[in-house]
Structure 1
């Protein structure tokens, strides 16, 4: 059998397993990430069918595509008015929960494990990588377990926001780690501010321009193909001009989703209604592309993950439990604000369980070596730093797997308790 036929068989297998996983996610609340990571492990470390070295050339591109689709998909769920006025619980859960998760990971890795003692920021960056839940997984499951609507909205929006937090704060720490040696804090802060302002401005302008293009070409076919090419170009151009491509894509999507706040720069008010109508079809098609990228990326995670390394697996398992326990006090505080004063314990437990990590965590872990090399302007990381980033990839991948398993088991165990929240 030729190598190309062999590759096509594997690709079709990945897509079929991914589709089956998507069906199981929709019908039985079992995250597809579990099946895809396990499939990757079977194809890679277990059987050697797909060698890890084969992925070295595509991992960076697949990771960048993952960031583009995550950020654009996240922007669909960010309504600025709703976020500031009616979604305070989600904002608190996302912000405080992300900080707590990041700090728990940092203290455990740096002070207990002694990971990379030369630079404590390496432990903190693991915290930001696994600091937030997966929007795609959490939103899909919470909408199908018949949870009260207040919980559905809060958990879905929280997971969207934490996807964004994971990418933004990991990018910031990557820059600080790469530039930190011998560079003044003021210089680092100025560079970060310049990068972010550049990204937001370029993304905002790109969002208005994309709205105009979509409106002018609304009668044409294959608009989504043009839109995704536009986003890839935006990501690349922003990086070229010294910004952050992921933030630029997010800004572009937020402008599209909230066009009513940007009427002053639009040619007419009629464009707002037409774009909102187009966004429904764009969102549907974007979910298909997101699913396809998730399939191959999670398989890649399984291929690079070494479950046989007991040390890494143990650390990841402990972190998964600590992240769950660390979330519970915050969930207990937030629950009454969602209308669950009488059943506070049940609501808090359910909120805590919806913490499964996903594509954002996996993508930022895999992209970490590339980002550090880019910021350091080198083609090869120092041996100790390379070993540290490999460790981070292994731990983050295992945490993604374990947190999804815990969520699945937790939902099954709490099935009857969930009904009590409704009646």
Structure 2
């Protein structure tokens, strides 16, 4: 009974610490994940030794899997189709450019360190993208243009997906043990085609259920359905995590998609513009529902980064050196994106250069590598955790310097002033009165 009480007390204190770390982040722009990692290290076997990893090892695969599928699902709510279309070309070019450069650099560093090509490439994909769990909270706390906000948000959301998809692909290749192009291509296409089909179909089914059957939003039911989508996809030999991404995309863009569908099926003329703008559709998610999903992500993020701290081992000198070199190399590699941001203001280019932190997606995939028995997985995990911590620290320092220099003054991007009060932007957008554009008949 005493152990149960201590565990519950520990969970409570960790959550309180998570909220405190988030408060510090909002006040001083020091990322909360750094505090969580430090807390985990202090509690772990390499410091105070209050947490025994063997006691929680059985829960880790379940926790890691759920964190991954929910990370992709919640990340889908940062990808808006209309914004994606508007900023698609620049965001996609910037995303692909930075992802490829980062992947190549990390792969080369790992190969020079004596690791096989596939293992090195896996680590490259693992650490190839910036973290949305770092970028999006930072952007919400500083004053940047809407265009820059969309650009960096989309980049972080897309690279999270790229990291997960390409890393899982390499794991599949390693497990298959073959480079034969035809069977490999068939396997991978089948894997992701099934995931896409199940995810989209699940999205359509859920939209119909909400609009025609339930008539109201049930947050927990969505989570239950999300887990079912993952299980069904894995049973059909698809990739369950990618299916949850497609499911999230369908829900987040339900208004736009249902509007387009109504426009196509409508017999009325001149409805094309209304259909594309989303005026004919209905959203099956609410702001409060999305906030609920963000809170679950916060819960998962809090415990996962504490878990990362538990695993950090400073006795592995090689992992520290390789991870440190990768951290600095990724910071320098980010400067290469200046070739694509020449038309931006100087302070905006500097902000783009400063957003290179790795985070939750990389940490989750590193753990999956251990579960999938990837060669040298334990070392990859240690390198990844050092690189995550290092890039978060370096990126935070650069952003702190930019703020100290007087950049990004004014209300944060996620806040506007309405009637003398600070109000979230989405609330103002939601409550903004519609303007009747129809002309009066003369």
1:127 has 2:133 as partner: no
TM-score between both structures, scaled by the size of structure 1: 0.87
1:275 has 2:263 as partner: no
Corresponding position of 1:212: 208
1:82-105 alpha-carbon deviations (Å, 9 max, x no partner): 323334222222111111111100
Corresponding position of 2:400: 412
1:267-322 alpha-carbon deviations (Å, 9 max, x no partner): 9999974425x332221100010000111111111111212322211211110110
Q: Relative to 1, partners in 2 of residues 1:403 and 1:141: Cα closer, same or farther, differing over 3 Å?
A: same
1:226-261 alpha-carbon deviations (Å, 9 max, x no partner): 001110111111111100011101111112223333
Which of these residues, 143, 146, 157, is aligned with residue 149 of structure 1?
Answer: 146
Q: Secondary structure of 1:227's match?
A: helix
Alpha-carbon contact 1:316-1:395 (below 8 Å) kept: yes
Paired with 1:49 and 1:23, the residues of 2 have a C-alpha distance of: 26
Q: Relative to 1, partners in 2 of residues 1:187 and 1:285: Cα closer, same or farther, differing over 3 Å?
A: same
Corresponding position of 1:88: 89
Q: Secondary structure of 2:237's match?
A: coil
1:15-40 alpha-carbon deviations (Å, 9 max, x no partner): 11111112222332221111111111
Paired with 2:322 and 2:406, the residues of 1 have a C-alpha distance of: 31
Alpha-carbon contact 1:134-1:359 (below 8 Å) kept: yes
1:350 has 2:351 as partner: yes
Q: Which moved more, 1:193-202 or 1:261-270?
A: 261-270
Paired with 1:54 and 1:348, the residues of 2 have a C-alpha distance of: 47
Q: Secondary structure of 2:286's match?
A: helix
Alpha-carbon contact 1:215-1:271 (below 8 Å) kept: no
Alpha-carbon contact 1:134-1:163 (below 8 Å) kept: yes
What are the residue-to-residue correspondences of 1:270-419 with 2, within 5 Å?
A: 273-276=281-284, 278-330=285-337, 332-337=338-343, 339-340=344-345, 343=346, 346-370=347-371, 372-373=372-373, 385=375, 388-417=376-405, 419=407
Q: Secondary structure of 1:133's match?
A: coil
RMSD (Å), alpha carbons:
2.4
Which of these residues, 169, 174, 179, is aligned with residue 166 of structure 2?
Answer: 169
Q: Which moved more, 1:256-265 or 1:233-242?
A: 256-265
Higher relative contact order (CA 8 A, sep 6+): 1
Gaps of 5+ in 1: 374-380
Q: Secondary structure of 1:336's match?
A: coil
Q: Secondary structure of 1:48's match?
A: coil
Q: Secondary structure of 1:137's match?
A: helix
Q: Secondary structure of 2:407's match?
A: helix
1:202-230 alpha-carbon deviations (Å, 9 max, x no partner): 10000011112222455557x11000111
Corresponding position of 1:378: none
Gaps of 5+ in 2: 267-274, 411-442
TM-score between both structures, scaled by the size of structure 2: 0.84
Paired with 2:405 and 2:169, the residues of 1 have a C-alpha distance of: 41
